[in-house]
Chains A and B, each alone.
Chain A
Amino acid sequence: MDTVKDRPDTGARRQITYDARGLSEPVAEIPKVSEIHGESARFDAAMLSTRQINMELRWLLAERGVRDITVLNPGAKHSLGVGILQRCKITFEGSLGYFGCGLIDGPEIHITGRVGWASCENMMSGVVVIDKVAGSLAGAAIRGGDLVVHGGVGARTGIDQKGGTIIVAGDAGTLTGFMMQRGRIIICGNAGSNLGDSMYDGTIYVAGSVKSLGIDCVPGEWTDADTEMIERKFSIYGLGTPPPFQKFVCGKQLYNYDILEPAERKLVM
């Protein structure tokens, strides 16, 4: 057993203060507070700053060869677990703030709480499972991997999505799939207004009601491949039997720019 623990026990929890206007901590040191057992490790993030938590994660992965990390008390701090490019497993026992698990490529992340805005932004590959709700902009611009939210999501989920799959067990807010270019969004609850507004490509599945469709988002034709994909994803993530879904795709009317104004078109016609 290899244990590194040098954090003084201060009793009461300390409030972390930092100068929020500039760089939070230009000279932070790796805290090295994790309890390491072979390939797995755990540490308490309650008294660590954002930068220290991310440095600790990198140190465990890159230098200690750890592949399974549990982070306790993340305390809804922003930008945790970002930029991780290894295959590994990370569990956050609690909630994350904004920009959680952004820019990742490879890890399997499990968050037992909720996440704030822009979680998993620009994820390249990997899996992120969120047990509670996610804020707006969940899975913004993701290129691959699976993002599974067991609660509801806010507005603009999967904005600019370029691949991968977003699965939402609850409801979704307005402008879901706004300008998405590829990939899949599966909403098991209801979707807000302007679903799939200005989407280029990709597919959106909605089981509940849709408040309104966005510009150039149209109902799509159901195929066996859709059934297969949804059943596979539901069984992987233990979501039970899939409900019947409606499918929405791009109408491709915005692909070509029509240079005629409506009044001019009338004249030409």
Chain B
Amino acid sequence: MCGIAGIIHRDASSDIGTEMSRMLQSMKHRGPDSTGYALFGPGRHDQVVIRFKLADANDPRGFDFSERLERSRMEVESRLHKIGASIERMEGETEYAYRAQIRYEGDVKALADYLENVPGCEVLSLGRSLEIIKDLGDAEEVANLYQLSGFQGTHAIGHVRMATESDVDISGAHPYWAYPFSDVAVVHNGQLTNYFHWKRRLERNGHRFQSECDSEIIAVYLAEKMAEGSDLEKAMHQSLEDLDGVFTYMVVTADALGVAKDAMAAKPLVLYESEELVAMASEEVAIRAIIDREIDTHDPYEGEVLVWTR
């Protein structure tokens, strides 16, 4: 089933960590397997934030598990130095998930590929201000584990997952970073039926897929369209033609949030717009979790593509 939520503040920034947690927690019944956040912090033009993991949450813990993680972490550090990045901060959020703040001017794809060559390493997000946090459990558990309360930012999307197409692990959890495009992430509610068709096509163009999850296609598909010079809205309109299946998906970039619904309107979306913010979710209860009064909401129709830019 899955539940998705998005919020974008038109001007100000806000505690999007807490807001997204409350929205996602109220939709726990739509997907209790894993929860993910894509948050846009303040960001700096000369800084890159990388969120990566070196093992999955439910990997078997052998006797050398911690040692292996430590070796991998040191390897990541040395590779960052080798590729010409200077590390400002690097901290372990959990024993397997890390956040690194670096200065780097080079090619993003080269950096991501180089790091992912380290055994067990997966780059969850990479960008000036995008941070993807995802783990098993409900929104409160993940928010507590990664200390998301108080995360100041401008816009965010989130996802609660009921796994249907692939394993319950962090790789299969949403949001997906649109590798190798910095600051783009996607959450998806639905199933894609021409998944293998697009996966093969995109792999031939040099893209990598970290999971067996069909939703990863959308992120990479949009990234490729935008790399070809298409703008976000155009790429999303094209996706309605190219992607087959049922979906409501949301995409965030450094300054925009977009949402698209398939031609059958098979998956829900409730939308609330005010002068300060735009909030949307699979169910109105999620919006009401952050706006505690009667509000006017509506459901976008089938085949609609909407984009809000800051």
Q: How far is the CB of B168 from chain A (nearest CB, A)?
A: 13
- A102→B25 CA distance, assembly (Å): 25
Q: How far is the CB of A26 from chain B (nearest CB, A)?
A: 15
- A226→B25 CA distance, assembly (Å): 49
Q: Does B85 interact with chain A (Cβ within 8 Å)?
A: no
**Complex partner residue of A77 from B32, B263, B285, CB under 8 angstroms:** B285
Is B294 a contact of A94 with CB atoms below 8 Å? yes
Task: With CB as the reference atom, state the residue of chain A lying closest to B27.
Answer: A20
0/1 string, B290-302, CB within 8 A of A gives 1: 0010111111011
Flag the segment in A132-140, A200-208, A215-223, A232-240 that touches B: A132-140
CB-CB contacts below 8 Å: B266-290 with A: 266, 268, 270, 283-285, 287-289
CB-CB contacts below 8 Å: A68-126 with B: 73, 75-78, 93-95, 97-98, 113-114, 116-117
A residues within 8 A CB of B296?
114, 132
**Complex partner residue of A20 from B29, B265, B292, B297, CB under 8 angstroms:** B29
Is B299 a contact of A20 with CB atoms below 8 Å? no
**Complex partner residue of A116 from B29, B263, B284, CB under 8 angstroms:** B284
Q: Does A152 interact with chain B (Cβ within 8 Å)?
A: yes
B residues within 8 A CB of A192?
301-302
Q: Does A174 interact with chain B (Cβ within 8 Å)?
A: yes
Known: A76-B288, A97-B283. A175 touches B297 (CB 8 A): no
CB-CB contacts below 8 Å: A154-183 with B: 154-156, 171, 173-175
Task: With CB as the reference atom, state the residue of chain B lying closest to A17.
Answer: B25
- A152→B300 CA distance, assembly (Å): 11
B residues within 8 A CB of A116?
268, 270, 283-284
Interface size class of B (residues with CB under 8 A): 20 to 34
Q: Does A266 interact with chain B (Cβ within 8 Å)?
A: no
Is B32 a contact of A21 with CB atoms below 8 Å? yes
Q: Does B174 interact with chain A (Cβ within 8 Å)?
A: no
0/1 string, A14-37, CB within 8 A of B gives 1: 010100110000000000000000
A residues within 8 A CB of B128?
none
A residues within 8 A CB of B285?
75-78, 97
Is A76 a contact of B284 with CB atoms below 8 Å? yes
